[in-house]
């Protein structure tokens, strides 16, 4: 684990370390090191939260409180900082959510690339690292999980497209999966709903499983420039 990462208590159910390929380095998110850069890159761009169930946040302190309560105290979640290898600059966040060690499964979530770094391949390289660490066997430097899933707002074509680009297969739509705040794009509920002023979210569910991985996805995701460095 990187030296800076030791400052932050991590309760994730699997070992956590830096992940790196030719394009991006992922290091466990450290509020004291990465919080200011995240806030500077996102506070003027609330659109990065349009399709996410959280945010925007009124202040850096509010964001860090959310991270501490939602991510750093949970054995199911872990958040990484994305660092652009070309410049060394902080470029965004990504993580695992809804992880189950008992069921050998996890989900890639909270993928936010700062607007200044979008369309540079950084997000794709980060997703490739998360897939490799999850699905490679322990003998190959991974966790040896059986399933990695991806959930996206049904209207978030960009997120669904990113998942498909990485060979995630659409398993279906989960209708009315979430209750959203009224200012989030969603589906209007029926009159008399018990949560007036809120909308609903239909969610696309996609996955890559170990058999998909071994039957061709691995070669694609571990391609030139994307392969995870050995530890």
Question: Structurally, how many domains does the chain consist of?
Answer: 1
- Predicted TM-score (pTM) of the model is 0.94
Predicted pLDDT of residue 167: 98
**CA–CA separation, 48 vs 145, rounded Å?**
29
Indicate whether 213 belongs to any domain.
Answer: yes
**CA–CA separation, 9 vs 73, rounded Å?**
8
Predicted pLDDT of residue 8: 57
**CA–CA separation, 63 vs 82, rounded Å?**
17
Q: Provide the CATH number for the domain around residue 152.
A: 3.40.630.30
* Tens digit of each residue's pLDDT (9 = 90 or more) over 11-28: 899 999 999 999 999 999
| 1 has a pLDDT exceeding 60 | no
Indicate whether 231 belongs to any domain.
Answer: no
Q: Domain residues for 124?
A: 19-219
Indicate whether 108 belongs to any domain.
Answer: yes
| 6 has a pLDDT exceeding 70 | no
**CA–CA separation, 107 vs 103, rounded Å?**
12
Indicate whether 165 belongs to any domain.
Answer: yes
Indicate whether 1 belongs to any domain.
Answer: no
Contacts of 197 (CB under 8 A, 6+ apart): 182
Indicate whether 226 belongs to any domain.
Answer: no
Indicate whether 227 belongs to any domain.
Answer: no
- State mean pLDDT over 184-201: 95
Indicate whether 175 belongs to any domain.
Answer: yes
């Amino acid at each position: 684990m990187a030296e800076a990462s030791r400052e932050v208590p991590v309760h994730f159910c699997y070992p956590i370390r830096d992940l790196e390929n030719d394009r991006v380095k992922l290091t466990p998110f450290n509020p004291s090191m990465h919080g200011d850069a995240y806030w500077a890159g996102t506070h003027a761009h609330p659109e990065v939260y349009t399709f996410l169930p959280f945010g925007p946040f009124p202040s850096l302190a509010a964001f860090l409180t959310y991270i501490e309560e939602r991510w750093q105290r949970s054995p199911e979640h872990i958040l990484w900082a994305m660092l652009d290898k070309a410049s060394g600059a902080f470029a965004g966040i990504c993580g695992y959510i809804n992880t189950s060690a008992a069921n050998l499964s996890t989900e890639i979530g909270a993928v936010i690339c700062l607007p200044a770094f979008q369309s540079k391949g950084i997000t794709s390289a980060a997703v490739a690292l998360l897939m490799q660490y999850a699905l490679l066997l322990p003998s190959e430097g991974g966790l040896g999980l059986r399933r990695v899933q991806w959930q996206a707002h049904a209207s978030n074509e960009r997120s669904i497209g990113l998942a498909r680009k990485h060979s995630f297969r659409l398993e279906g739509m989960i209708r009315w999966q979430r209750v959203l705040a009224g200012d989030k794009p969603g589906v209007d509920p029926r009159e008399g709903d018990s949560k007036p002023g809120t909308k609903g979210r239909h969610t696309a569910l996609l996955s890559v499983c170990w058999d998909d991985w071994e039957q061709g996805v691995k070669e694609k995701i571990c391609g030139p420039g994307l392969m995870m460095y050995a530890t």
